[in-house]
Amino acid sequence: MLTVTSEYAIRAMVHITQHGQDDPVLAREIADETGVPANYISKVLRDMTRSGILTSARGVGGGFRLARKASTIHLADIVMPFENNVHNDRCPFGNAVCSDETPCGAHEYWATVKSAYDRFLARTTLKNVAEKQAAGPKTAKRSKGKRKTKRAKGK
């Protein structure tokens, strides 16, 4: 349900969190460690700085830091600059009017999914995710070169 940009933002924020509150992290390091293209992550980090979640400094000792504690940053805060639908109640099926009073055919099902999604983003902190990520598998780094795909036998 998240856009690729939101996924990249979460990866970057988790990486920065794992470095500690006071240690600046360079954009190229974030790109290398998260598998996100460097020019793409630079734009994401700039947007995160504009939204007040990160601070940045140039030069020696510079880089990106969290603007506040990871326990106070929720996933909704991170994805808000990149997601049009985080607090949008428009019908994903294109109906001009879709509400409990005038529902589309999938409204009751979609409302349940949307509610759970909104709760997840609002209640899950960056600290929660960073701690779980540190205990689990690392993010796959981007492979350089062409992707090889295996064809199914018999096709």
In this structure, the number of other CB atoms found within 10 A of the CB of residue 7 comes to: 15
- Distance in angstroms (rounded) separating the CA atoms of residues 133 and 45: 20
**Where does residue 154 rank: exposed (0-12), middle (13-18), buried (19+ CB within 10 A)?**
exposed
> Taking Cα atoms as reference points, which of 129, 135, 137 lies closest to residue 12?
129
One digit per residue, the tens of pLDDT, for the chain of length 155 reads 788 999 999 999 999 999 877 789 999 999 999 999 999 999 999 999 999 999 999 988 889 999 999 999 999 999 998 886 555 566 777 888 788 888 888 888 888 888 898 999 999 999 999 998 888 766 555 444 444 444 444 44
Spell out the domain ranges in the chain. 4-135
Query: Whole-model pTM?
Result: 0.77
- Distance in angstroms (rounded) separating the CA atoms of residues 94 and 28: 40
Strand partners, 63: 57
Residue 100: the pLDDT is: 83
> Taking Cα atoms as reference points, which of 56, 28, 62, 55 lies closest to residue 42?
28
Residue 142: the pLDDT is: 47
Residue 61: the pLDDT is: 80
Strand partners, 125: 74
Q: What is the CATH number of domain 4-135?
A: 1.10.10.10
